[in-house]
Structure 1
């Protein structure tokens, strides 16, 4: 019997993931010009796999390729935010609906554990910790919903929104309000009320978009 070889990830995919994480962490903040020669030298690769990696990131909306000017980390405008958030609110609202229908007591306990982390982060004003726990809360909801089609579209949009990391939470009063919205959402899930969970999730994300619009206009 012939052994089945497991294909190694293509080099450009590894490079794309490294750059993706640098963009998400804002080591490469929005608007940054991508110095292809310097990056190729840093990674010890030719510019061919680097350019393939940048094409992947461009398809995800994380970088923008500008003719005769090069490649830049994408900057989201107020208009972009207003277009993206109603879509993601609709999708994640549906996700909350399905997750509430399917959630077991063990699932609710998982969400409550994350909620406890959110509460502590909010109480101390620790925005990075709150951001990470918030991401984990939403990810757990997606897993509970178990709808791979919803998950795929939401994840694509969420990648772009990571370009605005922390911005909405930096608006005065938003951290406290976000915490209150999470409490309402968890209460709806615990009560097995999918319609309310969907409504709260949509309102939560629209409120986040309004805060983000304020942050980007400052």
Structure 2
């Protein structure tokens, strides 16, 4: 048995996670037909756990099940991104508002530490490090807000965003812009200014969408 094969008794969640990571890495790009038989043979499993895994991914919006045509990795359009980011701005804005109201001194210190990591990554143009610190900061706010339903929806929407072939931080000037937005957001949180925290988070999310749009536009011009 090869390292890539899954034991027959493995849970379908493990299968879903392996496929999820292949989708996020674009090893299975948007629009790809999912060959159930080939995948089942590759992982050394029956089709039953594979199909259950695909249902999980379909519920997350990562794959699309088409009657009589099979399963495909979801293709996300510019309109999809516009709509998803609009909802994300609302949800993460609420998250920032709640966090500003609820954060303890220890919570705020945690945010300061994460922001320091973000600053260090920006100083060295470490896009991967900046992205990780950015994700950690947002996740920390979600934990401080302590609303599991809000967290669940945000998590699902971020999975859909990962279907985009681009990272907004690769847009020229976006890293410095994002750093400035984080500084402003942190200032609002430290001041426990709920209105400002919500507004600055919404602007931060909207700026991320605008950066992705610039990348797509540049790519279309080049093509």
TM-score > 0.5, shorter chain as reference: yes
**Per the alignment, do residues 38 and 129 of structure 1 end up closer, same or farther by CA in structure 2, a change over 3 Å counting?**
farther
CA shift for structure 1 position 37: 2.1
1:15 paired residue number = 15
Counterpart-to-counterpart distance in 1, 2:152 and 2:34: 27
**Per the alignment, do residues 215 and 66 of structure 1 end up closer, same or farther by CA in structure 2, a change over 3 Å counting?**
farther
2:27 paired residue number = 27
CA shift for structure 1 position 10: 7.1
What does residue range 81-92 of structure 1 map to in structure 2 within 5 Å? 81-92=81-92
CA shift for structure 1 position 134: 1.1
**Per the alignment, do residues 123 and 166 of structure 1 end up closer, same or farther by CA in structure 2, a change over 3 Å counting?**
farther
The total of aligned residue pairs comes to 210
**Per the alignment, do residues 66 and 43 of structure 1 end up closer, same or farther by CA in structure 2, a change over 3 Å counting?**
same
Q: Are residues 1:215 and 2:215 paired?
A: yes
Contact 2:32/2:72, CA 8 A, preserved across alignment: yes
Counterpart-to-counterpart distance in 2, 1:210 and 1:71: 31
Counterpart-to-counterpart distance in 2, 1:49 and 1:42: 13
RMSD: 1.8
Please say which of residues 199-208 and 122-131 is displaced more in the overlay.
Answer: 122-131
Counterpart-to-counterpart distance in 1, 2:144 and 2:17: 26
**Per the alignment, do residues 60 and 119 of structure 1 end up closer, same or farther by CA in structure 2, a change over 3 Å counting?**
same
SS in 2 for 1:164: coil
Q: Are residues 1:138 and 2:138 paired?
A: yes
Counterpart-to-counterpart distance in 2, 1:32 and 1:78: 18
1:200 paired residue number = 200
Contact 1:77/1:216, CA 8 A, preserved across alignment: no
Q: Are residues 1:80 and 2:80 paired?
A: yes
Counterpart-to-counterpart distance in 1, 2:103 and 2:130: 23
Q: Are residues 1:96 and 2:88 paired?
A: no
1:3 paired residue number = none
**Per the alignment, do residues 71 and 13 of structure 1 end up closer, same or farther by CA in structure 2, a change over 3 Å counting?**
same
Counterpart-to-counterpart distance in 2, 1:155 and 1:99: 17
TM-score (norm 2): 0.87
